[in-house]
Amino acid sequence: MAKIKYTKNELKTQRDSLARFQRYLPTLLLKKQQLQMEVRRIEALIAEKEGEEHRERAGLEGWVALFSEAGDGSTEVKVAAIRHAKGNIAGVEIPLLEGVEFEEQTTDLFLTPPWVDEGRRTMRHLILLRIQRQFYEEQRRLLVDELRVTTQRVNLFEKVKIPECRDNIRVIGIFLGDQMTAAVARSKIAKRKSMEKVRSS
């Protein structure tokens, strides 16, 4: 605990600090709650994308042999661009996926097997799912970091700063009360002595 002065100014400072901490605490608690909800929502989205990716991969297993047979690059899928923006959740800047563009591939309809188009569509979907999941994982990481900091602040206010201010106010109040009582007692003694002096003279 920091050393405090036993003065009226210090008492006012401690009361102001207590009022400030009590004013900020509900905002921090609300932010913490919002972050917890967002983390849970994003974790559900990650699980959903993982499940979708797993199902898509299971469906692709039967085609793996066909992909290797082609061997001419006709089944290759390449990402041309990833479009993203910045969003904000509870004051945390997060990346948002706006879209994924794939390189266009021309297909010779006479030389390319009919399953290639469906194979490419599946590969594009798998790539899109993986990129979406990566964006969600980055969002979760940023929000979890902010949640950790916010939780530390809430704990600091609830468990340290507010009780410390209350205790300081109590201790300073007792000290100032004792000082006032002592001053009143001294003035009574001084008054009595002066009255005795007047009487004796």
pLDDT recorded at residue 151: 97
- HSE on the CB side for 182, CA within 13 Å? 6
| Residue 7 phi, psi dihedral angles, 5° rounding | -130, 165
- pLDDT, tens digit, 9 for 90 and up, residues 49-87: 999 999 988 877 766 666 655 555 556 788 999 999 999
In order, the DSSP letters of 151-183 are HHHHHIIIIIIHHHHHHHHHHHHHHHHHHHHHH
- pLDDT, tens digit, 9 for 90 and up, residues 24-57: 999 999 999 999 999 999 999 999 999 999 998 8
Alpha-carbon distance 151 to 44, whole Å?
22
Alpha-carbon distance 47 to 57, whole Å?
15
Produce one character per residue of 91-107: b if its CB has 16 or more CB atoms within 10 Å, e if not: ebebeebeebeeeeeee
Among residues 41, 132, 118, 28, which one has the least CA distance to residue 79?
A: 132
pLDDT recorded at residue 201: 65
Instruction: Return the percentage of the chain with pLDDT > 70, whole number.
Output: 87
Contact 162, 18 (CB under 8 A): yes
Q: What percent helix, strand, coil does the chain show, rounded to 5?
A: 75, 10, 15
